[in-house]
Amino acid sequence: KEFGAETRDRDAPAAHAAMALCEAVLAEANKELELAASSFYRARLRFVQLSRTYEAWRALESVGRCHLLAGLEGSGEVALALAGFEQLGAEFDAARCRSLLRQHGVEPPRRGRKRGYGQLLSPREDEVIRLASAGKTNTEIAAALFLSPRTIEQHVARALRKLGLRSRRELLGRSNT
The structural domains of the chain, ordered by start, are: 2-103 (1.25.40), 123-175 (1.10.10.10)
Angle separating helix axes 13-29 and 33-49, nearest 10 degrees = 160
pLDDT digit string, tens, across residues 32-46: 999 999 999 999 999
User: What is the pLDDT at residue 174?
Assistant: 65
pLDDT digit string, tens, across residues 111-121: 655 566 777 88
Contact 100, 65 (CB under 8 A): yes
Residue 63 phi, psi (nearest 5): -60, -50
The H-assigned helical ranges of 8-148 are 13-29, 33-49, 53-69, 75-88, 91-103, 123-133, 138-145
